[in-house]
Amino acid sequence: MTIPFFSIPQPIANISQRARASLRQFFRQDTNGAMAVEFALIGPVFVGCLGFVGMAGYMFLASATLEQGVREAGRHIRVGKVATAGTTRDQFKDKICSYVSLSDEYCVANLVIDVDSAPTIEDLQTAPPYKDGKLDGSTSTYDPGDSSDYVMVKAYLSLGTLSDLFGLMGATNTNTYTVSSATVFRSEPF
């Protein structure tokens, strides 16, 4: 049996005229616009929820990659690579930004690092570099320390938000959300 190329499939060909008419009527049944009104009420809420989930995922990804960057860059201080190579603040910031899942330009422009070292752990400065409720890089320090010093590496990255709701979760007075990461360790004798 040969089937022409544009033939009606067998199960559909067996549907009676009455069944086809009722099927057409089913799809043309609602003419008062209730479905359009329901979509107009529910659609924006649904799209807003999708945006909220996407933004939360973006912030968690930025936070996790910042944590990895701080941990890996801190390892270079711990083993003495930063002290022996004379790594500058900008080079250290670039090292952290190489792990962050944002563009390098955005990360370098918005990342504030604070590296403090001391011979005892009690002497480390723990206050975040804020001035008038805003993240301020001019108040941060960069002192990777010497051999066997205690070192605290802190990094703060301001993320722009799509909604004021996310800005309310941050600690700043601006419409930004700040992710932060910190690690404390004792440098190896080098």
For 81-90, write each residue's pLDDT tens digit.
998 898 999 9
Q: Give the 3-state DSSP-derived string for 17-35, with helices as H, strands as E and coil as C.
A: HHHHHHHHHHHCCCCCCHH
Work out the average pLDDT over 113-132.
87
The pTM of the full predicted model, rounded to 2 decimals, is 0.72
Is pLDDT at 24 greater than 90 in this prediction?
Answer: no
Are 156 and 70 a contacting pair, CB within 8 Å?
A: no
Do the domain assignments include residue 81? Answer: yes
Do the domain assignments include residue 103? Answer: yes
Cα atoms found within 13 Å of the Cα of residue 162, Cβ hemisphere only:
12
Q: How many domains does the chain have?
A: 1
Long-range contacts of 17-25 (CB under 8 A, 24+ apart): none
**Other beta carbons less than 10 A from residue 82's beta carbon:** 23
Do the domain assignments include residue 96? Answer: yes
Q: What was the pLDDT predicted at 12? A: 58
For the record, the structure tokens of 77 come out as: 């201080």
Domain of residue 150 covers 35-186
Cα separation, 170 vs 9, in Å, equals: 60
For the record, the structure tokens of 118 come out as: 């001391």
Do the domain assignments include residue 74? Answer: yes
Distances (CA, A) of 134 to 2, 37, 72: 77, 44, 27
Do the domain assignments include residue 79? Answer: yes
Cα separation, 140 vs 91, in Å, equals: 16
Q: By C-alpha distance, which of 64, 115, 60 is closest to 91?
A: 115
Model confidence pLDDT, tens digit, residues 39-72: 889 999 999 899 889 888 888 999 999 999 999 9
Do the domain assignments include residue 29? Answer: no
Do the domain assignments include residue 25? Answer: no
* Amino acid letter for position 115: V
For the record, the structure tokens of 26 come out as: 């089913």
Q: What was the pLDDT predicted at 56? A: 85
What is the DSSP annotation of 33-87? Answer: SHHHHHHHHHHHHHHHHHHHHHHHHHHHHHHHHHHHHHHHHHHHHHTTHHHHHT-
Do the domain assignments include residue 20? Answer: no
